[in-house]
Amino acid sequence: MSVKFHNSIYYGTLPGTFLHELAHAIVIWLLPNARVIELDLTSHVEYEAYNMTATRTFLVGYAPLFINTIISIISVYAVSQIDSFSSIKSLLISIGLIYTALVTAFTAFPSISDAIAPLQLLHAQLFTRRLPFILLLGPFFLLLSIPGLTISYISQKSTYIQFILCCIYTTLVFLIGFEIIVITVEHFEVALLMLEDYMKKFIN
């Protein structure tokens, strides 16, 4: 990928990067005994926390995936409710919403360090009093982290693949926002039931 094209993508999606880093910071601000040390909206967030758990680390690391995606879906849905060509104002609002949806979805993926952080913490606490908790929820966190880790690792190796994956994810988000793909409460209920069955089998 040429430097010119890479820079165009980087600067074109910079507002999404701002929201990505801000999502990390928001979760850190909400967590007890945690505070932001350094916030650079273009690249990273540094923080310190007392008694950090894998769950909290997961929430911090994957916050942009959830928050950016939600913002993107809401923006796309809002466009679908507007008669974009009824006036100049409506057209400008629609363009703004589409741009917001594009950049937030495109920058939603966690970095490799964000994706692996919960597993690193579990590994570090393996021989502590948290061992029963780790044995119980470790596989669950592994399952949750595998998609993010895989995507982040591949993206780190190839900018072309990173671009393609981001485009695919952005397209998926748009399909959901325009209600071409519909995710209902029943889908979440099925996912929860599958998780409950997994936990019962693991415990037994």
Render pLDDT for 51-89 as a digit per residue (tens, 0 to 9).
888 888 989 999 999 999 999 999 999 999 998 888 999
> How does the average pLDDT of the chain come out, rounded?
85
Statement: residue 134 has pLDDT above 80: no
Q: Which helix (H) or strand (E) holds 48?
A: strand 44-49
Q: What is the pLDDT of residue 124?
A: 78
Statement: residue 105 has pLDDT above 90: yes
| Host domain of residue 171 | 3-203
Give the number of other Cβ atoms within 10 Å of residue 51's Cβ.
8
Computed on alpha carbons and rounded to an integer, the radius of gyration of the chain in Å comes to 19
- Whether 47 and 28 have beta carbons less than 8 Å apart is answered as yes
Count of domains for the chain:
1
Does 190 or 89 have the greater pLDDT score? 89
Statement: residue 199 has pLDDT above 70: no
Which range in 12-21, 50-59, 113-122 is most confidently predicted, on average pLDDT?
12-21
- Please choose, from the candidates 60, 52, 54, 1, the residue with its C-alpha nearest in 3D space to the C-alpha of residue 27: 60
Give the number of other Cβ atoms within 10 Å of residue 203's Cβ.
7
Q: What is the pLDDT of residue 117?
A: 87
Q: What is the pLDDT of residue 112?
A: 86
Q: What is the pLDDT of residue 77?
A: 92
Residue with tokens 């909400």: 30
Q: At what angle do helices 131-157 and 159-177 cross, to 10 degrees?
A: 110
CA of 125: how far to CAs of 8, 134, 141, in Å? 42, 8, 14
Q: What is the pLDDT of residue 111?
A: 87
Q: Which DSSP letter does residue 83 get?
A: -
Q: What is the pLDDT of residue 118?
A: 84
Confidence of residue 198 (pLDDT cuts 50, 70, 90): low
Dihedral angle sign, alpha carbons of residues 197, 186, 180, 66: negative
Q: DSSP H helical segments within the chain, as ranges?
A: 3-12, 14-30, 54-80, 88-106, 112-124, 131-157, 159-177, 185-203
